[in-house]
């Protein structure tokens, strides 16, 4: 498990973080992890076949065109 130290956080920011954590029934540390995870979550990737099918649909490609 990795530890991170956050320095120079304002008291107002920390109080808001505490309130948000309480709202979600989490510790401050768990709330910070949840915020960071949602901020860096990658969008689901689309497969090449799905991308090509979508492109073909946009240009109205049909089997006979191939």
- Map out the domains of the chain as residue ranges: 11-65
Q: Which pLDDT score, from 0 to 100, does residue 62 have?
A: 66
Mean pLDDT of the chain: 87
First to last CA, the chain: 53
> pLDDT (tens digit, 9 = 90+) per residue, 15-28?
999 999 999 999 99
Whose tokens are 């109205």? That residue is 60
Q: Which pLDDT score, from 0 to 100, does residue 34 have?
A: 95
- Kindly state the tokens that stand for 12: 């107002």
Is residue 64 classed as helix, strand or coil in its secondary structure? helix
- How far apart CA 30 and CA 17 sit, in angstroms, is 11
- Kindly state the tokens that stand for 43: 């969008």
pTM for this prediction: 0.61
**Level-2 CATH architecture, domain 11-65:** Orthogonal Bundle (1.10)
More confident residue, 22 or 56: 22
More confident residue, 20 or 50: 20
Residue 65 pLDDT > 60, yes or no?
no
- How far apart CA 13 and CA 7 sit, in angstroms, is 12
């Amino acid at each position: 498990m990795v530890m991170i130290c956050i320095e120079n956080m304002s008291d107002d920011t920390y109080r808001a973080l505490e309130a948000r954590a309480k709202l979600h029934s989490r510790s401050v540390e768990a709330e910070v992890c949840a915020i960071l995870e949602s901020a860096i979550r990658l969008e689901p990737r689309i497969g090449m076949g799905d991308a090509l099918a979508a492109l073909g649909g946009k240009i109205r490609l049909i089997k006979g065109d191939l």
